[in-house]
Amino acid sequence: MNKNERVFVAGSTGMVGSAIIRNLVKQGFTDIIGTYRNRKPAFEHEAVRFFPLDLMDANQVAGFYAEQKPVYVFDAAAKVGGIVANNLYRAQFLYENLVIQNNIIHQAYVAGVKKLLFLGSSCIYPKMAPQPIKEEYLLTDKLEYTNEPYAIAKIAGLKLCENYNLQYGTNFIAAMPTNLYGPEDNYDLQNSHVLPALIRKFHEAKVQNAPNVTIWGTGSPLREFMHVDDLAAACVYLMDNYNENQFVNIGWGKDISIKALALLVKEVIGFNGDLVFDTTKPDGTPRKLLDVSLLTSLGFIPKIDLTDGIRDAYDDFLKKYINK
Ligand SMILES: NC(=O)c1ccc[n+]([C@@H]2O[C@H](COP(=O)([O-])OP(=O)(O)OC[C@H]3O[C@@H](n4cnc5c(N)ncnc54)[C@H](OP(=O)(O)O)[C@@H]3O)[C@@H](O)[C@H]2O)c1
């Protein structure tokens, strides 16, 4: 990417979009545009401008592209949530994600965008996929039903990129990240992922001097976590170095049990009580780890280890949710 050409980051108030903007600013990009719906992003820098835009509205999106003429696009906008939200708002997760990505990707084609990166998710893979999960396992078996609507939308998004490239000669690439955490994460217990939920639960238990924290399930499932700044660096790296139709897994390459993760969060937060495992709650898939050999072969290696990453996320949680 040319650092003086205009870059549009869709979803710039989100955890991923804001990390991509921080990375671009750090690398010296001079003309970055982002969008917001209701709340204006807090991030301020002379290289970044934000515009109000509803990405569900095709006319607004078309007008935005026509006016702003971005050269590169990162699509980090989506309706995102944990298991409960995915299962409860099934129609919205399917419909809104399809519409948002259709608008961003199709209008990028219409506007002649030079390159676009679409962000999917590791939930695109079959529930019982062999581990670690290789890109080629896509569409080889049934999905997990609880987040099937979200996964179907993401599969449609990566296929949209692939087929626009094949039919129209665009350069739209797609990345499938593992579980992410870090600044701007969602700590609402109704709607959050496992790591931010643990950060909040341990923090509240510490403040209230609670004797223990309850963890759902046995603690034995293995999961992979990546700091969102590593993900952002990987996205920018792919935009600079990758032009193939094959989407790319983005992950840390190692997994950890939920119990070990909980112990790590407990230590970082300084909670002195015990862990209690509620084994009446389901464990979910025993293991979920992405095979990242394609990403590694392209020369990208993530840098932030889990302990440092959790410290950083906890600092951000304290600043944004507690000390505001
Ligand atoms: N978080 C993870 O662990 C994870 C893991 C794998 C992949 N991903 C992928 O990464 C991408 C971003 O995820 P995230 O965690 O950054 O989610 P997030 O924090 O919820 O951010 C989503 C962004 O999309 C925007 N958005 C949603 N609907 C919109 C609309 N109609 N108009 C304008 N903006 C809209 C949101 O704006 P508002 O602030 O106005 O709602 C927000 O900026 C998603 O594609 C997700 O699948 C995330």
Quick: pLDDT tens for 224-234. Answer: 999 999 999 99
Tokens of 201: 């639960």
Predicted confidence (pLDDT) per residue in 177-215, tens digit = 999 999 999 888 777 888 999 999 999 999 999 999 999
In this predicted structure, what is the pLDDT of residue 166? 98
Among 37, 54, 184, 187, the mutation site with the greatest number of ligand 1 atoms within 8 A of its Cβ is 37
Predicted TM-score (pTM) of this structure: 0.96
Residue whose entry in the numeric block shows the structure tokens 């780890």:
289
Q: Are 233 and 180 in contact (CB under 8 A)?
A: no
Predicted confidence (pLDDT) per residue in 100-124, tens digit = 999 999 999 999 999 999 999 999 9
Kindly report the CATH number that applies to the domain delimited by 7-184+225-253+288-305: 3.40.50.720
Q: Are 230 and 273 in contact (CB under 8 A)?
A: no
Give the Å distance between the CA of 10 and the centre of ligand 1. 9
Residue nearest to atom 36 of ligand 1 (CA): 11
Q: What CA–CA distance (Å, rounded) separates 17 from 5?
A: 18
Domain ranges of the chain: 7-184+225-253+288-305
Q: Please identify every residue annotated as catalytic.
A: 150
Q: Is 98 in the pocket of ligand 1 (CB under 6 A)?
A: no
Q: What CA–CA distance (Å, rounded) separates 261 from 255?
A: 10
Nearest ligand 1 atom to the CA of 181 is 3
Would the pLDDT of 14 be above 70? yes
Residue 85, CB half-sphere, CA atoms under 13 Å: how many?
Answer: 15
Would the pLDDT of 61 be above 70? yes
CA-nearest of 62, 43, 162 to 104 is 62
* Mode of pairing for the β-strands spanning 274-278 and 212-216: parallel
